[in-house]
Structure 1
Amino acid sequence: MATDDCKRSKEDLIRELDELRSARQNLEDSRATLNRLLSSLPGAAYRCDLGPDWKITFVSEHCLDLLGYTAAELTADPGLFGRLLDERDRESVKTALQLTLKDREPYSTEYRVRTRAGRTKWLWARGLIIDGPDGQPAGLEGIVLDITAAKQAEIQRRELELRIQQSHKMEAIGTLAGGIVHDFNNILSAMLGYAEMLEDDLSEAPRLRDNAGQIIIACNRARELVRQILSFSRKGEDEAEPVAVHLVVNEALKFLRSTIPSTVSIRQRIDKNSGLVLAEPIQIHQLLMNLCTNAYQAMETGGQMEVELGAVMLDESFARQHPPLKSGAHVVLSVSDNGCGMSQATLERIFDPFFTTKELGKGTGLGLATVYAIVNDLAGAITVTSQPGAGSRFTIYLPRLSQAAPDCSVRPETALPGCRGERILLIDDEESILFLYGQMLERLGYRVSAFRQSGAAWDRFAANPLAFDLVITDLTMPGISGERLARLMRKTRPELPVILMSGYGDRQTETAILNSGVSAFLKKPVARHDLARAVRSALDSAEIQKSV
């Protein structure tokens, strides 16, 4: 009997051992399966308690990829993860966890962390409350994913939307500016033209003549300003041309003063003899606006910004250190501030597209990248000096053209070309402009027939095509446009010289018109000496063609 009991006990023990071995194997298989699942996750799984430090009691090995810290480091130091959490997001994370505890609902939140390498990453966390043996909340389990790339894509998407909005806005501004500028240039034409004739009539009254001269100078400045407005509204459409940098900088600073906080003062030292660069005016405008925006944003509590423009001769040594510069004369533009400054690590990345130290929504990271691209496009170079807490200084070097910059305060005193009594057909639907240019041409010695309606002008021409030596017509005319009228007349008389004028015309329009065979295209307001030269040149060219 005892032997049988021992035998049964032994069998039971063997069976229990087999069951234990099987359970252990199942446990090891389950652990291996769990580890494989955890390793295949795109993020890190975690468990933390509900204490004040939210101590991490478990985290999968993916934490090393996310944060640069091992699981052992994160579980051994209760406050480590809290210290990695960005200060700007601590309150929002705390609030999300408190709501989860209150409502016992799964929580989901986004926040920033600082990795061991010093990088800022965006993480998305989702978790569930777990209860202890007493049925009370004891911890939190969930998963954390790296969403930095998605955030970057979101920034790029927003920037693309802003660019599209800006493009539409600039297109609308361009259309509006075109209509306004056309009318404004007609008004300016009358002011400039009558002031020039008044100056002639006051030859025996020096003081009054000088007053008329000042009106002419003001009109020329207004004309350049209007052309800059058109250039800015047609962003990217113009070709490179000699640009007087000081004119663009001065106008941009006037605009900037009304847009930056009053707590930021601007000190400017602008040399009007700094010279010309080969660029689009909008490019120079963008350079200054982006640099100044960066400067005042670095002074959140106020400060001083300095803008300096001048000329410098660069030697071979400096040029070699800053390609693609070459030795010689350059225009130098610098913008400095006494704001927060930048660390060396930031300096190394400031020109990277989409890199920004600002909060999401407060900066796209494209301002300085745009500056860098424009400077490279203009064969220039940019240098940056900065110290944390001591401000920053950006300096741009652009190749300087050898020709002198125009000075709107100086008027040409060249003699007007003579005439031989040629007959001119003049067409413009603005009565004041028609009368003005008619007087100008008659004072120069030409015989003028003036018409406000293109249809009436065509009837007069068709009746006797040989009655006129030159036709001058406005481009935008009711009924028959100036361009169509020119084609009709040249079809009848192919050798007839025609000059077109307009209060608004972009570069493509001007090129297309000149390619159509007209003699010249003049943009209103047209100064007397420009009109005289264009008329004389067109007539002389027609005479040469006849003799060939």
Structure 2
Amino acid sequence: QAGLDLFGYGADEVAGLRVKQLYAEPADRARFLEEIGRSGSVKDFAVSFRRKDGTPIDCLLSATLRRDEAGTALGYHVVIHDITERRRLEAQLRQSQKMEAIGGLAGGIAHDFGNLLTVIIGRPQLLLADLPSDDRRGADIDLIRRTAVRASALIQQLLAFSRKQVLQPKVVDLDPLVSGMAGMLRRLIGEDIELVVAPRSAGVRIKADPGQLEQVILNLAVNARDAMPRGGRLGIETAQAELDEQFSRQHPGARTGPHVVLSVSDTGIGMDPATRARIFEPFFTTKEAGRGTGLGLSTVYGIAKQHGGYIAVESEPGGGTTFRVYLPRVEEAVAPEDGAHPVAAGRGSEIVLLVEDEEEVRSLSREILEARGYLVLEATRPSEALEIARQHGGPIHLLLADIVMPQMNGRRLADKLTALRPGLRVLHMSGYSDDVLGRHGSLDPGLALLRKPFAPQDLARAVREALDAPGPGAPHGCPGPTGSDRQG
């Protein structure tokens, strides 16, 4: 009976069935016969069979050749072990490990390029400010700046894939977020595609970065649109889901418990198994040259993972595609809307202690701040910054420090300097979330961060916000150390 169940046949269907008809690959049968004919037995011999409905089965055979007293072969005693599910899980694990390795590489590249692009974006803007408006060189300089900004967007996508971007999560209801994007999505996908939005999670909440969730929906919608060149139907739906142990075992990386599931489905061309296996890899694309970077779905993958979620895909050639993003449910109340308005990138006269070990970034930052009226004390490493803080007789209003530096990281330096100068404001710079994130994947309370790469106006605005933000200490900075604090 076990054999009938394995191959999907009824007892009345096996009469006259030849064993060779069960093999998915004739070469497997030839190898099996050769091996058992030579040694008289095989153990854990890997073969592929095919069920009655055509479904392939991965199996291990252990068999012994049976002979009569004269040595004539009578048949085989065979034990078949179905390892189809094990092979599927192993393949998923290998894919997960590969994605993890690619993510580490992508995150490292993005981190290094953050410093380079900060300079490539910032220097042209300083040059443009000094050029007459009719100088024809301005167009070329601005082209350099705009190209660097585009490269910066690619860096942010790499950081999203590698799960190393800085999130700003809050408790949100996914239904109104999805519904609120409907108008924009209809304009994006065009009139030949029907958009059906069905928010059905009934007010269940998740903790996520709303901007990143919008990016997930946008990227999946664009992917669906491109898969339907002759039009079709795009469905976006939310629902509640309870992921159990069985689901977790079948989908490595998924966590058990209550979730909200975001489903995005299309009636497009679909994908074959080989394509499905690679769709989340960065820079992999089936589109023609110039029609995509191959980072859209890898960005979705990274955002889902960084939020503690899971993404699954179902697709067949000609049968459309469905992506399901599972995000953990929370019981907290929805966060109120933030009524704060961005601070203008204005001028100032405060004293800023700038600590950055990359000379080009440090020099650019100093020029940007000095041009806006700030006095900048410059340090190349943490020990030098500590010495300046001890020796400087006047106030220091703000510490502007990179996170990753020799000797000690920026956060430890900030701890030492705020102990030396209570009331000192702190603004960190980084392009890499591992440098600044707390245990739960979000910014620690009170940690102000300027993300690299940044433009001059971004730096000026972040400095002004850090200086003007409510907090402990004197409103205009802290006084210098007393004589006993100084080193002679």
Q: Same fold (TM over 0.5)?
A: yes
| Aligned with residue 149 of structure 2, among 207, 220, 241 | 220
Unaligned runs of 5+ in 2: 173-187, 196-208, 242-261, 274-296, 327-342, 477-488
Distance 1:189 1:309, change over 3 A: farther
The reply to whether residue 184 of structure 1 matches residue 113 of structure 2 is yes
The reply to whether residue 198 of structure 1 matches residue 133 of structure 2 is no
Percent identical across equivalent pairs?
A: 25
- Name the counterpart of 2:397: 469
Q: CA deviation at 1:144?
A: 3.4
Q: Distance in 1 between matches of 2:34 and 2:229?
A: 54
| Aligned with residue 417 of structure 1, among 346, 351, 364 | 346
Distance 1:516 1:454, change over 3 A: farther
The reply to whether residue 92 of structure 1 matches residue 19 of structure 2 is no
**One-letter identity of the residue aligned with 1:471:** L
Q: Within 5 A, what are the aligned runs for 1:77-476?
A: 77=15, 79-82=16-19, 84-86=21-23, 88-94=24-30, 96-97=32-33, 105-106=40-41, 111-114=47-50, 122=59, 124=61, 126-131=63-68, 135=70, 137=72, 140-148=74-82, 150-157=83-90, 159-160=92-93, 163-164=96-97, 166-167=99-100, 169-170=101-102, 172-173=104-105, 177-178=107-108, 180-205=109-134, 207-234=136-163, 279=212, 306=227, 323=239, 334=266, 336-337=268-269, 391-395=318-322, 416-419=345-348, 421-464=349-392, 466-476=394-404
Partner secondary structure for residue 466 of structure 1: coil
- Deviations 1:180-208 (Å, cap 9, x if unpaired)? 44443222222222111112112432643
Q: Distance in 2 between matches of 1:190 and 1:239?
A: 26
Q: Distance in 2 between matches of 1:106 and 1:310?
A: 58
**One-letter identity of the residue aligned with 2:406:** P
Distance 1:545 1:123, change over 3 A: closer
Partner secondary structure for residue 476 of structure 1: coil
The reply to whether residue 521 of structure 1 matches residue 455 of structure 2 is no
Distance 1:207 1:517, change over 3 A: same
**One-letter identity of the residue aligned with 1:393:** G
- Deviations 1:189-232 (Å, cap 9, x if unpaired)? 22222111112112432643343333222222222212222332
Distance 1:146 1:445, change over 3 A: same
Partner secondary structure for residue 346 of structure 2: coil
Q: Distance in 2 between matches of 1:461 and 1:483?
A: 16
Which structure: greater helix fraction?
1
- Deviations 1:25-73 (Å, cap 9, x if unpaired)? xxxxxxxxxxxxxxxxxxxxxxxxxxxxxxxxxxxx7765565444x86
Unaligned runs of 5+ in 1: 1-60, 243-268, 293-304, 342-366, 400-413
Q: Give aligned pairs, total.
A: 376
The reply to whether residue 483 of structure 1 matches residue 411 of structure 2 is yes
Q: CA deviation at 1:444?
A: 0.9
Partner secondary structure for residue 391 of structure 1: coil
Partner secondary structure for residue 140 of structure 1: strand
Partner secondary structure for residue 354 of structure 2: strand
Q: Which one has more relative contact order, counting CA pairs under 8 Å at least 6 apart? A: 2
Distance 1:183 1:311, change over 3 A: farther
- Name the counterpart of 1:345: none
Q: Distance in 1 between matches of 2:22 and 2:228?
A: 39
Distance 1:113 1:336, change over 3 A: same
Q: Which has the larger radius of gyration?
A: 1
Alpha carbons 2:267, 2:321 under 8 Å: kept: yes
- Name the counterpart of 2:277: none
Distance 1:163 1:524, change over 3 A: closer
- Name the counterpart of 1:14: none
**One-letter identity of the residue aligned with 2:145:** I
Q: Distance in 1 between matches of 2:130 and 2:189?
A: 38
Q: Within 5 A, what are the aligned runs for 1:29-40?
A: none
Q: Distance in 1 between matches of 2:408 and 2:271?
A: 60
Alpha carbons 2:121, 2:148 under 8 Å: kept: yes
- Name the counterpart of 1:33: none
